[in-house]
């Protein structure tokens, strides 16, 4: 029993390490070769756990080999463009200028019902409204509507606006996130002063401090929700008395 637990723990951390090396992608966004590696790794990882007679190394060595192979293929793809087509294919245009390319649909084994479903999910119900529909290498459908149907931007309307900044979490559960504080070009002294100005005595009492796109600091303390509930109850009682 203890052997199985130890094997499971080792395999768990090995799989986490493998997924980190493969990058931050969802299953639906994996390239074909990445999906193959993921499936094989999951099978190899389960073998030593299910059958204790199989040496743990028989699972670890193939997994490490696959990791190295995946990293090597990714590196080659970055350096040589032709290998990208070999391992990941290339995007395919299924709709062009409001017309469906049925030949390309056949090549990609993509039927008309699937195409219409994808368009509806994106909020498009008329094929003539589509300038391009591109089937990406990860299987997702990118839709570009015709220019006259795209909503106007502030630039189109000559509206001057300031550039928003990246929203950053500065405090979570009473702990300061130093890295984000540096990105915001702020220091701990500024953070403490700002929090105190909003009526909070200690950073440990803060659930969330978020610096938004406009540079304003949103703060929620541990007792804020309780105060809000109490105020709501008082207002409800007062309404009941008036009635």
Structural domains in the chain (count): 3
Q: Give 151-192 pLDDT, tens digit per residue.
A: 877 777 777 766 666 789 999 988 999 999 998 889 999 999
For residues 19 and 77, membership in a common domain is answered with yes
Residue 230 pLDDT: 47
Coil, strand or helix: which one is 20? helix
The verdict on residue 186 lying in a domain is yes
CA 76 and chain centroid, separation:
25
For residues 10 and 63, membership in a common domain is answered with yes
What are the Cα distances from residue 46, in Å, to 15, 33, 62?
11, 20, 12
Residue 47 pLDDT: 87
User: What burial class does residue 191 get, using C-beta atoms within 10 Å of its C-beta: 0-12 exposed, 13-18 middle, 19+ buried?
Assistant: buried
Rounded CA-CA distance 160/35 in Å is 45
- Give the residue, 51 or 163, on which the prediction is more confident: 51
What are the Cα distances from residue 25, in Å, to 3, 34, 56, 63, 75?
32, 10, 28, 19, 17
CATH number of the domain at 115, please: 3.30.240.20
The verdict on residue 64 lying in a domain is yes
Q: Give 91-110 pLDDT, tens digit per residue.
A: 899 999 889 999 999 998 88
**Domain span at 37:** 1-86
Binning pLDDT at 50, 70 and 90, where does residue 147 land?
A: confident
The verdict on residue 238 lying in a domain is no
Q: Pick from 226, 227, 190, 195: which is nearest to 208 by CA?
A: 195
């Amino acid at each position: 029993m203890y052997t199985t637990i130890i094997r499971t723990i080792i395999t768990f951390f090995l799989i986490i390490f493998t997924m980190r090396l493969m990058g931050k992608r969802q299953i639906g966004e994996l390239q074909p070769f990445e999906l193959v590696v993921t499936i094989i790794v999951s099978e190899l990882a389960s073998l030593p756990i299910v059958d204790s007679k199989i040496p743990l190394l028989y699972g670890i060595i193939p997994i490490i080999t696959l990791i190295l192979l995946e990293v090597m293929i990714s590196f080659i793809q970055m350096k040589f463009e032709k290998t990208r087509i070999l391992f990941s294919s290339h995007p395919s245009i299924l709709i062009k200028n409001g017309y469906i390319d049925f030949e390309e649909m056949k090549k990609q084994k993509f039927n008309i019902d699937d195409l219409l479903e994808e368009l509806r999910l994106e909020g498009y119900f008329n094929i003539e409204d589509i300038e391009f529909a591109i089937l990406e290498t990860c299987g997702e459908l990118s839709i570009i509507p015709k220019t006259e149907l795209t909503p106007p931007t502030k630039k189109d309307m000559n509206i001057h606006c300031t550039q928003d900044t990246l929203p950053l979490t500065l405090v979570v559960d009473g702990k300061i996130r130093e890295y984000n504080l540096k990105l915001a070009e702020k220091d701990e002294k500024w953070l403490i002063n700002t929090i105190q100005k909003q009526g909070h005595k200690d950073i440990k009492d803060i659930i969330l401090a978020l610096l938004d796109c406009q540079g304003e600091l949103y703060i929620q303390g541990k007792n804020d929700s309780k105060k809000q509930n109490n105020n709501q109850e008082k207002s409800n009682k007062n309404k009941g008395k008036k009635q």
